[in-house]
Amino acid sequence: MLIKKVLMLPEIAEKTKCKHGLDPIVAKDVLECFSKSYIEKVGGENYMAIGLCNAGYVTIFFEYEAGTAEIKTAYQSSEWQIDLYRRKRG
């Protein structure tokens, strides 16, 4: 998977910031540095990424098509997601 462009609609950015308390820029950064993230297909064109950044562990759900990732939601990772990341990324 080669992510060339990361998109986030304004309403998703607002939800990410207000509901989940996560800066939307952090979510974009995790996907832009996807070589450090664990990415798993969760159905159709939908993927889950878990990454470690300066804000801690972040989980992102996104759609991927033709080099473009469109973020659907992003939030601080739960314990099981952190464990998954550690097992898969070593």
> Does residue 7 carry a pLDDT above 70?
yes
How many residues belong to the chain? 90
pTM given for the model: 0.89
Burial class of residue 20 (count of CB atoms within 10 Å of its CB; 0-12, 13-18, 19+): middle
**Amino acid at position 26, single letter:** V
**Which pLDDT belongs to residue 76?**
94
Number of domain units in the chain = 1
Calculate the dihedral angle through the C-alpha atoms of 4, 14, 82, 45, rounding to the nearest 10 degrees: -50
Q: What is the per-residue pLDDT across 27-85, written as a single tens digit (0 to 9) for each? A: 888 888 766 889 999 988 899 999 988 878 999 999 999 989 999 999 999 999 999 99
What CATH number does the domain containing 31 carry?
3.10.450.530
Find out whether 3 and 32 touch, Cβ atoms under 8 Å: yes
Range of the domain at 53: 5-89
